[in-house]
Amino acid sequence: MQLSYWEKSSYLAYDYIILGAGITGLSLGIELATAFPNAKIAILERGIFPSGASTKNAGFACIGSLSEKIVDRNLMGDEAFLSLIEDRWEGLQILRQRLGDKAIDFQEYGGYELIFQQQDDVFLADMEEMNQCLKSLLGRATFSIEANANKAFGFNPKHIKTIIKNKHEGQIDTGKMMQSLSALCSSKGVQIFTNTNVHSLEEENQVVSVNCEAITFKAKHVFLCTNAFTKKFLPDEEIEPGRGQVVVTKPIEQLKIKGIFSFDEGYYYFRNINNRIIFGGGRNLDFEGESTTQFGSNPPILHKLKQYLEETILYQTPFEIDYHWSGIMAFGGKKQALIKKVSERIYVGARLNGMGVAIGSKVAKKLLTLLQQHS
């Protein structure tokens, strides 16, 4: 591409370039612009919109269900477990304070875990101990059994035997959150380029060349906030893509369901939005098929989602599925995000393990701290 003098002098060189305009990349743009108000900062995004997980998710502002927490604690040990909960909790507070509850339509209706009749519920015996474990962080008893919730929400009583409430959980409007993050970035002078797919990075002479289709940008420091798509740049890192399927119903008259809900250790999740239900999950039905960075549908999983809606969630309530979509998450053996300096001038903040609404803002803060420690 032939560039003008003005394009070369104004558009190509930056102090900081961030790859990816998801929650992490946009939050980092805000962190950098706040810490270094005179710095030139750009975010390069391959999609017309952010095209990974951040505009595709369910908008749960959550720390997770009881069964999921018990599995995590056993797997990670107390120290790492509590540090992850702290990141989720603090990340949500940063997001809410940064954008304001109104702008992201934050509603604290609570979170609920559904226990099915045939499900083993021995983990309920550990609820009080979990509450004690979380007390120093969250203050009051987090989990409680909700005796009348089944009736109130209209679930099939033949399927659901117990509902556990998490008082600390809420929901946001994901679209509004992403728009607000973009607007805040722009207001702080961060330049966001969409439709800009980065092919490769080359680091020499204290500069990183950021190679796109027709243009090479230059930066003093580069941050990879490309979550599931990071392996292209860091093939040796442990990052597994995980696609998530989501359906949304048409508006339902007198919808009783209000809040965020999950079951099967968080593999299924649903919520209300404008008299509709957004319902996602089922990745555990086909881990192999869903370990992909390609967007697309998985008919058996979509069929299962519809079946749960008909038989359990919207039991005896007429509804129609309006449409469906997919989004791509990133997972690893460890539940912690991958946050590190990978070379002299390149940093990564990725692998958000399906909880980026909660931890994305905290990951960005940790990236800024890492940069400051090395500058």
Q: Give the residue with the Cβ less far from ligand FAD, 53 or 368.
A: 53
Candidates 38-46, 123-131, 294-302, 338-346; binding stretch for ligand FAD (CB under 6 A): 38-46
Instruction: Give CA torsion, residues 53, 54, 57, 58, to 10 deg.
Output: 160
Give the largest Cα separation in the chain, rounded: 71
Nearest to 30 by CA among 178, 199, 207: 178
Per-state percent for the chain, helix, strand, coil, to nearest 5? 35, 25, 35
Return d(Cα 145, Cα 121) in angstroms, integer.
12
Question: Cβ contacts of residue 359 below 8 Å, gap of 6+?
Answer: 87, 88, 91, 337, 352
Q: Give the residue with the Cβ less far from ligand FAD, 132 or 197.
A: 197
| Token pair of 331 as six digits | 């997972």
Q: Alpha-carbon torsion 279, 282, 288, 291, what sign?
A: positive
| Token pair of 327 as six digits | 């989004």
- Touching ligand FAD, residues 272-301 (CB under 6 A): 280
Q: Give the residue with the Cβ less far from ligand FAD, 63 or 371.
A: 63
Single residue of 14, 30, 32, 54 touching ligand FAD by CB under 6 A: 54
Nearest to 30 by CA among 200, 214, 177, 188: 188
Site size for ligand FAD (CB under 6 A): 40
- Touching ligand FAD, residues 236-265 (CB under 6 A): 244, 246
Q: Which residue's Cβ has the minimum distance to ligand FAD?
A: 52
CB atoms within 10 A of CB 323: 9
Residue 115 interacts with ligand FAD (CB under 6 A): yes or no: no
Single residue of 103, 149, 329, 339 touching ligand FAD by CB under 6 A: 329
Return d(Cα 264, Cα 30) in angstroms, integer.
36
Residue 142 interacts with ligand FAD (CB under 6 A): yes or no: no
Candidates 41-49, 97-105, 109-117, 315-323; binding stretch for ligand FAD (CB under 6 A): 41-49
Q: Give the residue with the Cβ less far from ligand FAD, 232 or 345.
A: 232
Instruction: Give least dist CB 324 to ligand FAD, A.
Output: 10
Residue 29 interacts with ligand FAD (CB under 6 A): yes or no: no
Return d(Cα 157, Cα 249) in angstroms, integer.
22
Residue 181 interacts with ligand FAD (CB under 6 A): yes or no: no
Residue 57 interacts with ligand FAD (CB under 6 A): yes or no: yes
Single residue of 103, 142, 354, 371 touching ligand FAD by CB under 6 A: 354
Q: Residue numbers of the site for ligand FAD (CB under 6 A)? A: 19-25, 44-47, 50-54, 56-60, 197-198, 225-229, 244, 246, 280, 327, 329, 352, 354-358, 360
